[in-house]
């Protein structure tokens, strides 16, 4: 079984993000990290591949920088990576991103596509569903538990008020939530091997996408203004010396909820 897992390199969330003053796009340093929420999809892909004797290919779209984030993902155990690396993709919206990833996945002839539910830096939250539509796949989204019996996928799918048990047969796409599986830590051996694993870096044109249909030009949207949100300031901060709960009671009274 061939499994494709979508991953993303993002600027380290522990550092402040900078916006380009002209384009308003997030400035992407050469050194990016693997989006932490992608570890769940990678882990699920590895588990399913191990159970079925399959392979795991990482698929990503980003300026490559030093590939640190992709190497982190390979270190967990994936076999190889395809990173679509093309300056023409700068400013791509959700749909262009999905078209690029779908084209890269189609080339790999994957039986199963695994994604997260949204990226930590962009969080449009619709790219997995777009990929499924573009590849004509059923999508079992927001999975919190996944089992594969033969070619039948069974998923517990989170809903606003609980969960549904949903099923589809391969080929299919799954988007996994954090907590669906327990991601493994890369071993020292895995980290060393990751440096030697193949990372294919096609351009958009290599995937058959016309330049006019990608990047900012192909995305049908333009940022007109960026400004700081009105700030909410903090109020009183007190150290609990044993009686601080009484301050909460007073505030609840003032708010007329008790």
Partner 1 sequence: MTWFVYAEESGGKASTISLEMLTKARGLGGDVAAFAVGTASESWFAALGAHGAATVHHLDPGDALPSAAAAAALGTLVGPGDTVLFGLTPNDRDVAGRFAARTGAAVLSNAIDIRVAGATITVVNEILGGTMLVETAFSGPGPHVIVARPKSFAAEPGAAATPAVRPVTVPDGGRSTSARIVARHSETSQGPSLADAAVIVSGGRGMGSAEKFRLVDDLARLLGAAVGATRAVVDSGWVPYSMQVGQTGKTVKPAVYVACGISGAMQHLVGMKDSATIIAINKDEEAPIFGIADLGIVGDVHQVLPKLIAALQAR
How many chain residues bind partner 1 (CB under 8 A)? 79
Is the CB of 53 or the CB of 238 nearer to partner 1? Answer: 238
Helix (H, G, I), strand (E, B) or coil at 212: helix
How far lies 60's CA from each of 38, 71, 206, in Å?
A: 11, 12, 15
Is the CB of 123 or the CB of 187 nearer to partner 1? Answer: 123
Is the CB of 51 or the CB of 123 nearer to partner 1? Answer: 123
- Show contacts with partner 1 in window 27-56 (CB under 8 A): none
Is the CB of 64 or the CB of 137 nearer to partner 1? Answer: 137
Torsion of CA 158, 159, 160, 163, to 10 degrees: -80
Spell out, one character per residue from 73 to 102, where the chain touches partner 1: x when CB under 8 A holds, - when not: --------------------xxx--x----
- Show contacts with partner 1 in window 53-72 (CB under 8 A): none
CA distance 155 to 147: 6
How far lies 66's CA from each of 33, 154, 228, in Å?
A: 10, 38, 31
Asked if 21 interacts with partner 1 (CB under 8 A), we say: no
Helix (H, G, I), strand (E, B) or coil at 218: coil
141 prior amide bond cis, ω within 30: no
Asked if 229 interacts with partner 1 (CB under 8 A), we say: yes
Asked if 125 interacts with partner 1 (CB under 8 A), we say: yes
- Show contacts with partner 1 in window 136-195 (CB under 8 A): 136-142, 144, 154, 157-169, 172, 177-179
Task: Name the one range near partner 1 by CB under 8 A: 42-50, 126-134, 183-191, 198-206.
Answer: 126-134
Please identify which residue in the block is written with the tokens 């039948």.
152
């Amino acid at each position: 079984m061939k499994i494709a897992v979508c991953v993303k390199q993002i600027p380290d969330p522990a550092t402040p993000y900078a916006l380009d003053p002209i384009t308003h796009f997030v400035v992407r340093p050469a050194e990016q990290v693997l989006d932490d929420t992608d570890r769940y999809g990678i882990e699920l892909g590895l588990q399913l591949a191990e159970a079925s004797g399959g392979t795991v290919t990482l698929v990503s779209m980003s300026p490559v920088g030093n590939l640190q984030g992709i190497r982190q993902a390979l270190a967990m155990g994936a076999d190889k990576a395809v990173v679509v690396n093309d300056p023409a993709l700068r400013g791509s919206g959700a749909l262009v991103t999905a078209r690029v990833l779908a084209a890269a996945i189609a080339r790999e002839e994957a039986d199963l596509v695994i994604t997260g539910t949204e990226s930590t830096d962009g969080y449009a939250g619709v790219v997995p569903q777009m990929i499924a539509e573009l590849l004509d796949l059923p999508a079992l989204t927001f999975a919190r538990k996944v089992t594969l019996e033969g070619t039948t996928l069974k998923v517990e799918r989170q809903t606003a008020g609980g969960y549904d048990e949903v099923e589809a047969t391969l080929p299919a796409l799954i988007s996994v939530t954090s907590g669906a599986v327990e991601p493994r830590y890369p071993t020292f051996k895995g980290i060393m091997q990751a440096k030697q694993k193949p990372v294919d870096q096609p351009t958009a044109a290599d995937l058959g996408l016309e330049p006019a249909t990608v990047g900012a030009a192909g995305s049908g949207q333009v940022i007109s203004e960026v400004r700081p949100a009105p700030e909410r300031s903090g109020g009183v901060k007190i150290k609990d010396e044993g009686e601080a709960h009484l301050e909460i009671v007073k505030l609840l009274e003032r708010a007329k909820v008790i």
